[in-house]
Chains A and B, each alone.
Chain A
Amino acid sequence: MAHDSPFHRPAATRPISRRDFLWQSGGGLGGLALAAMLGHDRALAADVSAPASRPVHHPAKAKRVVQFFMAGAASHIDLFDYKPELIKRHGQPSDFGEPVEAFQNGLGPWLRPIWDFQPYGQSGKMLSEVVAPLGGVVDDLAFVHNMVGKSGVHSAATLLQSTGFQLPGFPGAGCWVSYGLGSLNENLPTFVVLPDHRGFASNGVKNWDAAFLPSQHSGTIIFPGTEAPVADLFPHASGKFITPRGEAAAHRLMADLNRQHSAAREGDQRLDARIRSYELAARMQLAAPEALNLKAEPAHVLKLYGLDGGPQTWPKEINADEEAFHFSQKCLAARRLLERGVRFVQIWSGNDNSFPRRNWDSHENVQRDHGPLALGMARGAAAFIKDLKQRGLLEDTLILWTTEFGRMPSSQGGKGRDHNPFVFTNWLCGGGIKGGTTHGESDLWGYKPLDRTNPTTVYDIHATILHQLGLDHTRLTFRHNGIDRRLTDVHGHVIKNILA
């Protein structure tokens, strides 16, 4: 039954059996359901004995992934990519030595990094003071300073980093991981998205929905710390007639009636799978609130994340404390979810492009927007990495920090920076990544890669992540509209330099 592996899609003409159907459409339902429904068939059960951890292509270094996504495009040169030449040339007319097509023509004089840089850790990596908290974990980070994008348009650039394609209609990276590896704990979703507390980034759910993959691989949206963090986990407010005792009775009776129904319709495993999905739903109702109960954390952990202050009120203007609170809250929720078997967590910083700015799209004033966003992100991310490390979770949890594109070394309107899709920075951490390393450099200005013929692309990043998860990015495919689709399209090379 080798063709039952999701990595080897059978020809579309092959008759689709019920069991194939379950693999293709119900895989995320997880092993228990499948095992239960196939239990009577020993020959089949044998090769799905542990479907929760599906067969991988090679031994895995990482089991789970966390993606930090900075919406609006975070400035590499103000945070991570130290460019002393800009300090030297600050205020001089910018000259790129070639014609430049900038999104809003923000080609004013060179603008020095808004914050000072200093070295951190054994590696002596230069970091901006606005991300100073990350200095404490810098030796665990591997930087990629020669990332290139394809477009300076927010929507297309966000999709490219989140799904590997510039057009809507492709699954997010987390969907592919869910599809490829399946669940570690079927009581929780496999792929969780923690959006910015203000709302979604460009393209909304298109950044993480399953597109042509079966819908259970979509990212499940969770807003930690809110009244209803998971949609439809519990009955709508108008359901006053629903009581806990009644729920248990309803589940029993439904299962009973459903079993009578399916008994008269032998051989259709979807009917049993649906019965099972209600059992799992009931278990998720227990598991999700437990996982998201941040109050259960001991005081020292809350302190590590800066969440020991309790609920607070904030000024109206964007500010670092509020950003840190929300970002840290998401990080802590992420850690609890990962511990409980969630495969992929995507954490967003920044809402869509609007005024006043509530994301990283600092055309007008880098200091005003990047300051609070970066400091808030750095506090949360640093606490998160330390926390994973002290629990031994960092070893097999791979973290990616990414954004839409970079920002220009020239100024826009004096204090802002325009889009720079020509070069930007990613960093990775944990999950078999070699810390304290840098792969790829940008040029003198942070305008383009130093070596323009060998840039790093999102395909390479995705290939590397899949590789660490034990997956060959060229073999994780799904046929859609006549094409065997991959997360990495027809590109991508594993970045061996940053592997431990």
Chain B
Amino acid sequence: MTNRPPLVSAPASGGLQTCAARPPFVSWAAKKLAAGLVGTALTSALAATAPNFVSDVRPIFAKHCVECHGPEKQKSGYRLDVKAIALTGGEGSAPNIVPGQGATSPLVKYIKREVEDMKMPPKGDPLSPAEIATIAAWIDAGAVWPDSASAAVADPLDWWSLKPIASVTPPASAANPIDAFIRAKLATNGLTPSPSADARTLIRRLYFDLTGLPPTPEEIAGFVADQAPDAYARLVEKLLASPRYGERWARHWLDVVHYGDTHGYDKDKLRPNAWPYRDYVVRAFNSDKPYARFVQEQIAGDVLFPDSADGIEALGFISAGPWDFIGHAEVPESKTDGKIARHLDRDDMVANTIGTFSSLTVHCAQCHNHKFDPIPAEDYYNLQAVFAALDRTDREYYRDDARHARFQALRRVQRETAAALAALEAPLRAQAGEAYAEITRRLELPPQTDPAEPGKPSPSRGYHSALSSTPDVTKWVQVDLGESIEINRATLVPAHDTFNGIGAGFGFPVRFKVEASDDPEFQTGVKLLWQRYDQTFMADFPNPGRDAFTTGGGTGDGIIGRYVRVTVTKLAPRKDDYMFALAELRVTDRAGKNVAAGRPVSALDTIESGERWRKSNLTDGIAPAALSAEEKAELERARDALLLGSADEPTKSRRAALLAESSRIAAELKSLPKPDLVYAGGIHTGSGTFKGTGAAGGHPRPIHLLARGQVTTPGKLVGPGTLSALQFAPARFDLPADAGEGQRRAALAHWLTDPKNPLTWRSIVNRVWQYHFGRGLVDTPNDFGRNGGQPSHPELLDWLAADFRDSGGSFKSLHRRIVMSATYRQAVTANPAAEKIDSGNTLLWRQNRRKLEAEALRDAVLAVSGKLDLTMGGPGWQDFVIERPEHSPHFKYELANPEDPKTWRRSIYRFVVRSQTQPWMTSMDCADPSMRVDKRNESLSPLQALAMLNNGFIVSQAQHLAARVRAERPDDLPAQIARAHALALGRAPEPAALAQLVAFAEAEGLPALGRLILNLNEFTFVD
């Protein structure tokens, strides 16, 4: 006991919130020392005079522990100032304090620094032996902790968003319930609402708000002139009925779900089939799809509404976010990097689901229990289990509902028939025995013959590389043609071998390239004959079976070389190992002659196994022959005879019926047009590294609790479930053991859309409110947890949520409620007195002036120039040129032609690239498709000004605007200018301004004037 004097009496540095009346500090150890007890005798002598928590133990905690395990921080969710947590908590080792067991309590081990990685405190001075002894003794004596000495913690469930939606009656002060709530709060704060905006302002506001487009001057004039009391209501109905409405509001939804048309990450490959989900969202808004149905379809449409196209397309929600191609397609699930990629993939699905529908940050609970909200890590992994069978993949369906239903039915019967046939044949096959197996082998493995001696079987199989324990190894084999010649094409003939029952296509490379060079080392002058799936990453090459593979070429592309090399970057599986083999490599010249025949072969490695496998076999002209159709039919007849030899008549006729049914279904499926595809969450059946769960029956992958999110240290296995903090329904899904994976998603969909779920309904009405006012009633639409905001008008939020829920979840009714209110219709007034009270206008004493978002701005430019193409739906238009699509596509926006009319469609139909976001849109604060965006940034910068002034889009549309007004008001410059002004800004210019504009246009021309008008503040801001 030499390291520290035992008389430690430093006061607590961290301080406990509850110890305002701390007793005079006297260390228990010091008292003991005073009583003459020392050193090792301490623990044994304790029972009679146990340390007192308040005077002896708590000061030690305060000094060493509470800084990280107290009111400020709760590392690992553990606190030593709160009795309940101190005595029960401790994550993996809980409870850290076991009353009566001082020596073995984890806490004592940690402070004695006996546990690697858990030496406490990790920084700063360790506890002195006396301090450790005090704590151990206190635990030995039962860890008595008076309730009065525990810091108070808020009940984690006592939080507004987790409580049931209240049944609220609006104040009686106004006819419109929204106005009643808003005015009541204004009144208590000494504020009054602003007057209504004028008609011209209202129509411009409402058009942008509901459709994302400006009204035409004619529409404005008509509305201004319409004095009928229901003029505004009729305008609202007209706009809600417009297809432009769905286009506008779908874009908001796509921000939240982070939709994109490419994968993101490295190799930002295209998703050519993502757009049906985007179109589904547009359609859902336009058709006013009830919200519950909208939610259910996006989580489990294939299960709950299997016969509708919407039920499949909606699953694009699950796949909307980025996907790590390399982490899936290049790294197997067995490697750590592959495990991380798949974990993060599910993480995105879970975060997207709960963030979008429940406005909680559940993903914060992947390393530890949520720090601020009552979300244990287990909840998070239960949610991962819901999506555990899924990958992001193309799904087949038909856009036509009737055809889709038929397609689904056929596939169901097909699965059932195949299963019935397999069950029926299994015993027959077993009885047919070896003779049956032999014929089957012959069908799959025809004899190889030496062309020099027809009919005589040859032992020569081909070239066979050395074995490797993993597939991702580069190997090569090459032939020396003897002289440099112009090469037409190369043919790779697959080998056969019965090893491991593989048969045809034995060892055929999974990824490879074929190159020619005059350099035997292939260092210089390398020319590609065929590059398929080289190691910079594409999908695997399907095994060709017995069909030879021939490269392209032969078009006089001048491939010249003496050596032809096959480089394999991904080997074929054999049995617990990998290799590649080829029966034959043929290289033809322009005359079609095989110039490789008999030429010397070299390779990185080879097994050289007798006559069967050796390098020289690659060019010996001996390869497996294909069976003729007659031979094949004959063998099949013989096989069937063997199979049915022992079968009784009912079995035979049943088999015949099943076969007939099977071919009938196959024929009908074949007669259907090619299915449509949507990129969605689904069961993936793939080859190579990205296998998915399909081949194994589509069962969910096992999901383990991962301490600190580490895939290398899986904890206990968890099942499907959801947030336990909401107590209206059980959080663990109690599903039968044989329930399909879809049942998990169906359970989550039902949980989300339960009328009693308080988050779902509050979340969505708050989002809609935000898009109408520029600020939500809760200003953090993706976070209703403790780190987020609280509602400015809780009663109004609950009233809106309940009203929306109870009236069928109709978005259009909700819009109507909001835009018909006087609150919405207020002018954007300046009111210094009100600013002093509520500078942020949280209480809505006026409307907010809105800066147009990137899409609205772009669409408005096109509407004003007269070039807007209102064609709806379909694959996204692209305003870039793709270079190097075979590797990492380069998206060259600067090479696009701004005069390409294809790019004049609405921005919602833009092909959204993740790695190279559209520069102009990005500078206008467009949503980043890699992030779940609940609220767009709003910035102003010189770079934004430059983009607005100089980008090809603006420069070209300025000229179209000029041409338009020239055509509409021929030979009258002032009228042309007034027209451009009215189109863009919704009003005629003041006389003085018109004079200035005319002078400018006379000097600089109409296109320059058009560009100027599009750059005015008044065009970008909406009152």
Asked if A412 meets B830 with Cβ closer than 8 Å, knowing A253-B997, A265-B849, the reply is no
Asked if A205 meets B916 with Cβ closer than 8 Å, knowing A233-B946, A257-B996, the reply is yes
In this assembly, does B333 line the interface, its C-beta being within 8 Å of a C-beta of chain A? no
> How many Å lie between the Cα of A152 and that of B324 in the bound state?
13
**Among listed B449-457, B582-590, B932-940, interface-contacting one:** B932-940
In this assembly, does A50 line the interface, its C-beta being within 8 Å of a C-beta of chain B? no
Asked if A481 meets B932 with Cβ closer than 8 Å, knowing A209-B917, A232-B947, the reply is yes
> How many Å lie between the Cα of A275 and that of B894 in the bound state?
27
User: Would A15 and B839 count as touching, CB distance under 8 A?
Assistant: yes
**Among listed B51-59, B131-139, B883-891, interface-contacting one:** B883-891
> How many Å lie between the Cα of A209 and that of B923 in the bound state?
11
B898 partner, pick from A29, A236, A267, beta carbons under 8 A: A236
User: Would A215 and B923 count as touching, CB distance under 8 A?
Assistant: yes
> How many Å lie between the Cα of A262 and that of B469 in the bound state?
72
**Among listed A60-68, A97-105, A300-308, interface-contacting one:** A97-105
User: Would A105 and B473 count as touching, CB distance under 8 A?
Assistant: yes
Which residue of chain A lies nearest to B775 when distances are taken between CB atoms in the complex?
A16
Q: Within the complex, what minimum Cβ distance (angstroms) separates A41 from chain B? A: 12
Asked if A209 meets B1008 with Cβ closer than 8 Å, knowing A15-B839, A155-B326, the reply is no
In this assembly, does A254 line the interface, its C-beta being within 8 Å of a C-beta of chain B? yes
User: Would B361 and A482 count as touching, CB distance under 8 A?
Assistant: yes
CB neighbours (8 Å) of A258 from chain B are 1016-1018
> How many Å lie between the Cα of A413 and that of B922 in the bound state?
43
- Most chain A beta-carbon contacts within 10 A, residue among B266, B890, B944, B955: B266
Q: Which chain B residues numbered 922 to 960 have a C-beta less than 8 Å away from chain A?
A: 922-923, 925, 928, 930-932, 934, 937-947, 949-952, 955-956, 958-959
Q: Mark A276-310, 1 if CB is under 8 A from B, else 0.
A: 01101101110000000000000000000000000
User: Would A261 and B1016 count as touching, CB distance under 8 A?
Assistant: yes
CB neighbours (8 Å) of A231 from chain B are 894, 919, 947
In this assembly, does A246 line the interface, its C-beta being within 8 Å of a C-beta of chain B? yes
> How many Å lie between the Cα of A243 and that of B932 in the bound state?
42
In this assembly, does A274 line the interface, its C-beta being within 8 Å of a C-beta of chain B? yes
In this assembly, does B344 line the interface, its C-beta being within 8 Å of a C-beta of chain A? yes
CB neighbours (8 Å) of B894 from chain A are 228, 231
Q: Within the complex, what minimum Cβ distance (angstroms) separates B886 from chain A? A: 9
In this assembly, does A199 line the interface, its C-beta being within 8 Å of a C-beta of chain B? yes
> How many Å lie between the Cα of A86 and that of B535 in the bound state?
27
> How many Å lie between the Cα of A257 and that of B946 in the bound state?
18
In this assembly, does A93 line the interface, its C-beta being within 8 Å of a C-beta of chain B? no
CB neighbours (8 Å) of A275 from chain B are 1017
CB neighbours (8 Å) of A236 from chain B are 898, 950-952, 955-956
B830 partner, pick from A232, A250, A265, A270, beta carbons under 8 A: A265
> How many Å lie between the Cα of A158 and that of B828 in the bound state?
46
User: Would A168 and B1017 count as touching, CB distance under 8 A?
Assistant: no
Asked if A274 meets B930 with Cβ closer than 8 Å, knowing A368-B523, A483-B364, the reply is no
Q: Within the complex, what minimum Cβ distance (angstroms) separates B729 from chain A? A: 24
Q: Which chain B residues numbered 801 to 841 have a C-beta less than 8 Å away from chain A?
A: 828, 830, 832, 835, 838-841
User: Would B788 and A254 count as touching, CB distance under 8 A?
Assistant: no
Which residue of chain B lies nearest to A214 when distances are taken between CB atoms in the complex?
B939
> How many Å lie between the Cα of A12 and that of B780 in the bound state?
7
CB neighbours (8 Å) of B841 from chain A are 15
Which residue of chain A lies nearest to B1021 when distances are taken between CB atoms in the complex?
A271
In this assembly, does A239 line the interface, its C-beta being within 8 Å of a C-beta of chain B? yes
In this assembly, does A200 line the interface, its C-beta being within 8 Å of a C-beta of chain B? yes
- Most chain B beta-carbon contacts within 10 A, residue among A153, A189, A284: A153
User: Would A105 and B472 count as touching, CB distance under 8 A?
Assistant: yes
Q: Mark A1-43, 1 if CB is under 8 A from B, else 0.
A: 0000000000111111110110001101100000000000000
CB neighbours (8 Å) of A257 from chain B are 993, 996, 1016, 1018
CB neighbours (8 Å) of B330 from chain A are 153
> How many Å lie between the Cα of A105 and that of B1004 in the bound state?
66
> How many Å lie between the Cα of A355 and that of B511 in the bound state?
15
Which residue of chain A lies nearest to B887 when distances are taken between CB atoms in the complex?
A354
In this assembly, does B268 line the interface, its C-beta being within 8 Å of a C-beta of chain A? yes
In this assembly, does A450 line the interface, its C-beta being within 8 Å of a C-beta of chain B? no
The DSSP consensus for interface residues of chain B is loop
User: Would B916 and A167 count as touching, CB distance under 8 A?
Assistant: no
Asked if A169 meets B1021 with Cβ closer than 8 Å, knowing A26-B939, A250-B1000, the reply is no
CB neighbours (8 Å) of B541 from chain A are none
Asked if A153 meets B326 with Cβ closer than 8 Å, knowing A29-B940, A232-B946, the reply is yes
Q: Which chain B residues numbered 533 to 548 have a C-beta less than 8 Å away from chain A?
A: 534-537
In this assembly, does A56 line the interface, its C-beta being within 8 Å of a C-beta of chain B? no
Which residue of chain B lies nearest to A152 when distances are taken between CB atoms in the complex?
B337
- Most chain B beta-carbon contacts within 10 A, residue among A168, A218, A235, A356: A168
> How many Å lie between the Cα of A283 and that of B894 in the bound state?
24
> How many Å lie between the Cα of A364 and that of B1020 in the bound state?
53
Q: Which chain A residues numbered 444 to 479 have a C-beta less than 8 Å away from chain B?
A: 479
Which residue of chain B lies nearest to A16 when distances are taken between CB atoms in the complex?
B840
User: Would A250 and B916 count as touching, CB distance under 8 A?
Assistant: no
User: Would A15 and B840 count as touching, CB distance under 8 A?
Assistant: yes
CB neighbours (8 Å) of B502 from chain A are none
In this assembly, does B407 line the interface, its C-beta being within 8 Å of a C-beta of chain A? no
Which residue of chain A lies nearest to B985 when distances are taken between CB atoms in the complex?
A261
Q: Mark B875-907, 1 if CB is under 8 A from A, else 0.
A: 000000000100110110010001100000000
User: Would A277 and B942 count as touching, CB distance under 8 A?
Assistant: yes
> How many Å lie between the Cα of A199 and that of B883 in the bound state?
11
In this assembly, does A96 line the interface, its C-beta being within 8 Å of a C-beta of chain B? no
User: Would A215 and B925 count as touching, CB distance under 8 A?
Assistant: yes
Asked if A155 meets B265 with Cβ closer than 8 Å, knowing A16-B840, A253-B996, A256-B996, the reply is yes
CB neighbours (8 Å) of A266 from chain B are 830
Q: Within the complex, what minimum Cβ distance (angstroms) separates A100 from chain B? A: 11
In this assembly, does B782 line the interface, its C-beta being within 8 Å of a C-beta of chain A? yes
> How many Å lie between the Cα of A284 and that of B993 in the bound state?
28
Q: Within the complex, what minimum Cβ distance (angstroms) separates A266 from chain B? A: 4
In this assembly, does A211 line the interface, its C-beta being within 8 Å of a C-beta of chain B? yes
User: Would B788 and A242 count as touching, CB distance under 8 A?
Assistant: no
Q: Which chain B residues numbered 274 to 332 have a C-beta less than 8 Å away from chain A?
A: 322, 324, 326-327, 330-331
CB neighbours (8 Å) of B832 from chain A are 267
In this assembly, does B1005 line the interface, its C-beta being within 8 Å of a C-beta of chain A? yes
User: Would B944 and A235 count as touching, CB distance under 8 A?
Assistant: no
User: Would B473 and A155 count as touching, CB distance under 8 A?
Assistant: no
> How many Å lie between the Cα of A28 and that of B327 in the bound state?
36
Q: Mark A346-380, 1 if CB is under 8 A from B, else 0.
A: 00000011111000000111001000000000000
User: Would A278 and B779 count as touching, CB distance under 8 A?
Assistant: no
Which residue of chain B lies nearest to A233 when distances are taken between CB atoms in the complex?
B946
In this assembly, does B395 line the interface, its C-beta being within 8 Å of a C-beta of chain A? no
User: Would A241 and B1004 count as touching, CB distance under 8 A?
Assistant: yes
Q: Mark A294-338, 1 if CB is under 8 A from B, else 0.
A: 000000000000000000000001000000000000000000000
CB neighbours (8 Å) of A249 from chain B are 1000, 1003-1004
* Chain B interfacial positions (CB closer than 8 Å to A): 264-268, 322, 324, 326-327, 330-331, 335-337, 340-341, 344, 355, 361, 364, 372, 468-470, 472-474, 523-524, 526, 531, 534-537, 604, 779-780, 782-783, 785, 787-790, 792, 828, 830, 832, 835, 838-842, 849, 851, 884, 887-888, 890-891, 894, 898-899, 914-917, 919-920, 922-923, 925, 928, 930-932, 934, 937-947, 949-952, 955-956, 958-959, 990, 993, 996-997, 1000, 1003-1005, 1007-1008, 1011-1012, 1015-1018, 1020-1021, 1023
Can you report 25 A-B residue pairs in the complex whose CB atoms are below 8 A from each other?
A12-B779, A13-B789, A15-B838, A15-B841, A29-B940, A104-B474, A153-B266, A153-B331, A167-B322, A169-B930, A189-B943, A203-B265, A214-B937, A236-B951, A239-B950, A246-B1003, A262-B1017, A267-B835, A274-B1020, A278-B949, A280-B942, A280-B945, A281-B942, A354-B887, A363-B535
Given A11-B789, A202-B266, A354-B884, 4 more pairs with CB closer than 8 A: A28-B941, A153-B331, A236-B950, A257-B993
The 9 closest A-B CB pairs, nearest first, are A15-B840, A155-B266, A482-B783, A204-B915, A236-B952, A216-B941, A281-B945, A280-B942, A239-B955
